[in-house]
């Protein structure tokens, strides 16, 4: 017995250590990986404007101290009334750059080094995911819809979009409601380029944890962009909120269900004595 307990406690301790050890390993990443995972969905270096500005030559546009301050807390700098920060906010359609966890002055400085391209990997790697510029074709849209619905598995095994999101009129009842409705997301997240970058490394906590090890392929992203673009073009402003539709549909379904139950058990036993007494009393009146 004693040895079994020792084994159990040992296992528990090992699991705890493994869990605690993982974040420590993340912190020790090289700045280039940090950029790919945390910045590339909004910024490129030499790849053009996404949601945030292209960071090529950023150290020439602003001095290093200002940039390090901004990286640590963009909102604080914007709130302080800094005119350049206000301009950036306007360029990003009012989207405030979020605080990045673990952004120490040392890390910020190292990131700027990477952006400047001093040492480390080739700049092209930070230019964002290469997604074809060709126009969307109907087959792109069809493939995208299949991917969205999960009729075709994502190559790296990520879950289908429909399990958490709904898009336009896809599926009879729409998709999942855990994540936001994606009908208008194409414009909201900066069109083809911005959304493409976003999809290449989804930044939100939920998406990140799901897709960290199941990244989307560039051709998949293209197809998904095609179908999301198509949905935003064809979506009509609904005159009834989807919730109301859902409730109505549920109510109608319940009525149909009750009617079917009544049909199936129409010969069932109903009260005998009360029926007799009531019929008689009614007859006398």
Partner 1 sequence: MNVRSQISMVFHLDKCIGCHTCSIACKNIWTDRKGTEYMWWNNVETKPGTGFPTDWEDQEKYHGGWELHDGKLRLKSTGKAKTLFNIYHNPSMPTMDDYYEPWTYDYQHLFTAPAGDDQPTARPKSMVTGELINIEAGPNWDDDLGGSPIYAANDPNLKGLSHDTQQQLMAVERLVFFYFPRICNHCLNPSCVASCPSGALYKRGEDGIVLVDQTRCRGWRACVAACPYKKMFFNWDTGKSEKCILCFPRLETGQAPACFHSCVGRIRYLGVLLYDASRIEEVASLPSDKLIEGQRSLILDPNDPEVIAAARENGVHESVIESAQKSPVYRFVKDWKLALPPHLEYRTMPMLFYVPPMSPVMSNRTNGAIDHVSDDLFHDIEDARVPMKFLANLFGAGEEGPLRYALRKQKAVRWYRRFKTVGDVDEKTAMRMLSEADCSPEEAEAIYELTSLCTFDDRFVIPPMHREEAIQMMEDPLEHKKSVGFGFLSGPKRGM
60 vs 270, beta carbon nearer partner 1: 270
Give the shortest CB-253-to-partner 1 separation in angstroms: 21
25 vs 272, beta carbon nearer partner 1: 272
Token readout for 197 is 């970058």
Give the shortest CB-277-to-partner 1 separation in angstroms: 6
Give the shortest CB-256-to-partner 1 separation in angstroms: 20
81 vs 283, beta carbon nearer partner 1: 283
> Residue 251 region, left (φ>0) first, then alpha (ψ -120 to 50), else beta?
alpha
5 vs 265, beta carbon nearer partner 1: 265
Give the shortest CB-265-to-partner 1 separation in angstroms: 5
Identify the CA nearest to 207 among candidates 161, 147, 155, 145: 161
3-state secondary structure the chain: CHHHHHHHHHHHHHHHHHHHHHHHHHHCCCHHHHHHHHCCCCCCCCCCCCCCCCCCCHHHHCCHHHHHHHHHCHHHHHHCCCHHHHHHHHHCCCCCCCCCCCCCHHHHHHHHHHHHCCCCCCHHHHCCCCCCCCCCCHHHHHHHHHHHHCCCCCCCCCCCHHHCCCCCCCCCCCCCCCCCCCCCHHHHCCHHHHHHHHHHCCCCHHHHHHHCCCCCCHHHHHHHHHHHHHHHHHCCCCCCCHHHHHHHHHHHHHHHHHHHHHHHCCCCCCCCHHHHHHHHHHHHC
Give the shortest CB-257-to-partner 1 separation in angstroms: 15
63 vs 284, beta carbon nearer partner 1: 284
12 vs 277, beta carbon nearer partner 1: 277
Give the shortest CB-213-to-partner 1 separation in angstroms: 45
206 vs 275, beta carbon nearer partner 1: 275
Give the shortest CB-159-to-partner 1 separation in angstroms: 36
189 contacts 195 by C-beta, under 8 angstroms: yes
Sites of contact with partner 1 (CB under 8 A)? 265, 267-274, 276-277, 280
């Amino acid at each position: 017995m004693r040895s079994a307990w020792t084994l159990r406690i040992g296992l528990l301790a090992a699991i705890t250590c493994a869990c605690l050890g993982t974040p420590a390993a993340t912190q020790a990443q090289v700045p280039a990986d940090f950029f790919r995972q945390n910045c590339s969905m909004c910024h490129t270096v030499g790849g053009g404007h996404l949601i945030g500005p292209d960071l090529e030559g950023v150290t020439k546009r602003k001095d290093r101290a200002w940039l390090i301050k901004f990286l640590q807390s963009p909102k604080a700098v914007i709130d302080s009334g800094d005119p350049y920060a206000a301009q950036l906010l306007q360029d990003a359609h009012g989207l405030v750059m979020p605080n990045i966890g673990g952004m120490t002055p040392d890390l910020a400085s190292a990131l700027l080094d990477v952006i400047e391209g001093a040492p480390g990997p080739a700049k092209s790697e930070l230019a964002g995911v290469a997604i074809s510029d060709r126009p969307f074709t109907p087959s792109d849209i069809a493939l995208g819809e299949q991917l969205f619905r999960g009729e075709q598995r994502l190559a790296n095994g990520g879950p289908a979009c429909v399990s958490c999101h709904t898009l336009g009129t896809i599926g009879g009842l729409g998709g999942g409601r855990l994540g936001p409705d994606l009908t208008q997301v194409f414009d909201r997240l900066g069109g083809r380029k911005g959304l493409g970058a976003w999809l290449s490394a989804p930044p939100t906590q939920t998406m990140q944890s799901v897709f960290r090890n199941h990244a989307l392929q560039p051709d998949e992203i293209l197809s998904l962009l095609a179908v999301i673009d198509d949905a935003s073009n064809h979506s009509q402003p609904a005159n009834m909120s989807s919730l109301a539709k859902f409730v109505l549909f549920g109510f109608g379904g319940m009525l149909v269900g009750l009617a079917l139950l009544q049909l199936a058990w129409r010969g069932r036993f109903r009260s005998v004595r009360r029926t007799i007494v009531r019929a008689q009393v009614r007859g006398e009146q």
